[in-house]
Structure 1
């Protein structure tokens, strides 16, 4: 498969034209950046991305994604919830339910309007921004025969490998288009950053984050346990110990955020996301936080709900645990019979003070 490189700014200009024409002179309102990063979605669900609203000019609003790209879109194409959130950011409406305001801010508000032309150039094509968040190998990965899973879904910000001409290159998801399971990604090809819309069948979770290693995090009962920030980990559905987190002490806090992948605890096709609001099978596809002591069977402590790609799930240890593990919530505990595939979560631990 050969691809023609199209500048990101050109792509977004074409999107703006398709959305309804040019941007005229308009007053500009700049949003306070104390707002938290938010998952912005279109009215009809054909795209979504993570970022902050930076300014509004007439009927257009500009965003900066968590990967430092700038996107300008017509306001009318945002979901009703996001339109309400924009009103809150402007100081003209309440905070919509389910959205968290920045700490110490009852309403971020905007700066006074200024005149100016709306930005219709789309994201920056600066190589530094384009390469941000990806590795930079001198050569592509070796040719491999496997392809991506066309049924797998990815969240904005997920680290992925991109298939081009039979070779995999490391990249990151910027914008999600659920309508046809396509993703706008940036990836490094022979040391150069490139953006493109890629089908799920030509993506896979980044190889570095999908190994079968289930060793515990650093630390043991004889060593001080340290806090660490979010890092991607694979969780397999084929074993009781889907991932070994390790020991946790009373007061330690575990944070989990869904990144990518689908699995099931029955049947032959791994087709359900544990992060969906209402997945087929319900709790049978949820991620379970369990404790293991000695040679006993794992005891489920709690289930991780859906929606963690937007808001991480937080669990705090109520006592000392010899070992905490993650597993698919398989009711019959026949893990080896589950369909192949696993999921990827980002995990962080905040250790309690002495």
Structure 2
């Protein structure tokens, strides 16, 4: 059968790659075209567009690039029509993928949404579109079920695909030696995977470094961005830059400062205490504040419905606040112990399902004639 998969971000590419591998195990004749990145390409998908071209974040930034995004939409729609897939599989990336869902459904294609849009957090009206333009939705957050079912969405909880990725990870025993990471403690800096995140976060994180003269800082860089984005770090003797090896960094880290996103949950599942930071443009932040209906932004806190990890957002994201929390969580303190205990509960909530395999089986069984 033929599958068309669309992911627009780094995390979506990771999960898309694992999904492609599972589809191929079950369907030896699978033909797969995809929008994603290196993970999906390495898994065997024919890569149409790399997510590095699609990584616009924030309301203002999206508006500035609206013509470019519309061009991508038209290109994607035309490519789907030409390919004539048996299934269109959309991974997260709601602003783009909900439009593709509508187009695909109106043109008679089966539409599956993997990693549901977070319409419960803002703009619940979009949930009606999810019901109308998808055949099935695969949720990776258990608390979403009640919300989506209330709107009549055909939703199935499949567990969290990060467990698939972490389960297959093998630590490199020579990692520290290879990257000349000799000091302890090790503080991981995860500034994000998109250019706006790096620009909004990294320089503030660098100002934190002098406050911990004995620590080794390791920046988890990403290869989809030009190395020049990390130029401000290169000359700092206390910092190492490691590219596309985030899990290796987390496997040796004592503490992490993490930009809000999928990385917050990954860090927690690795058992690394963390403080979450986030900053966007003033316009985007004001719009978000007016629309968002949930009390937290990090996945860890959302899943646990409690402030497990501190969130320093916008004006609260200051050097002083980051340093204060880092000192509390780097040492053997009550705050660190409480966070680690909450992580143990988080592991139980997330579970250990083979998510990628489950999604592949559900889609293929759905497509096969009865």
- Compute the TM-score of the two structures, normalised by the length of structure 1: 0.26
Higher helix content, 1 or 2: 2
Q: Kindly name which structure, 1 or 2, has the bigger radius of gyration based on alpha carbons.
A: 1
Normalized against structure 2, the TM-score is what? 0.25
Greater percentage in strand = 1
